C-alpha cells in the first residue's frame, strides 16, 4: 500500500524552491476538500489555473499498486498536455 499523504508531502517539498511557472498542482476532482485546497494554494502562490491538474481518484488513505499506476498515468498525461 502507498500512503497518499506521504506521496503528496514529498511533492510539496520539491516545489519549495520552484516559482509559479514551474509548479503543477494535482487536485482530486472527486474531493471538495482537495479542490478547495488546490484553488486556495494556486491563488495564494500566484499559480495559473492552467497549472492545476484535476484528476478523479479515491479519497482513501492508502491505495494499491494498480490504483497508483492509474494515478501516475493520469498525472503524466496532464503534464504532457501542458
In the chain, domain spans: 2-6+20-80
Q: What are the cell numbers at 67? A: 490504483
Do 35 and 28 form a contact (C-beta atoms < 8 A)?
A: yes
30: helix, coil or strand? Answer: coil
Mean of the pLDDT values across residues 48-77?
94
- Residue whose grid cell is 509548479: 23
Choose among 63, 66, 37: nearest CA to 25. 37
DSSP letter for 61, please: S
pLDDT of residue 22: 87
Task: Count the alpha carbons within 13 Å of 71 in the hemisphere toward its beta carbon.
Answer: 21
Q: 6-23: per-residue pLDDT in tens? A: 555 555 555 566 788 889
pLDDT digits 0-9 by tens, 31-57: 999 999 999 999 999 999 999 999 999
Amino acid at each position: 500500500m502507498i500512503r497518499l499523504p506521504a506521496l503528496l508531502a514529498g511533492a510539496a517539498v520539491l516545489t519549495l524552491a520552484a516559482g509559479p511557472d514551474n509548479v503543477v498542482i494535482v487536485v482530486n476532482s472527486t474531493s471538495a476538500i482537495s479542490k478547495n485546497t488546490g484553488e486556495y494554494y494556486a491563488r495564494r502562490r500566484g499559480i495559473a489555473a492552467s497549472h492545476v491538474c484535476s484528476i478523479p481518484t479515491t479519497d482513501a488513505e492508502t491505495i494499491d499498486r494498480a490504483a497508483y499506476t492509474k494515478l501516475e498515468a493520469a498525472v503524466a498525461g496532464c503534464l504532457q498536455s501542458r
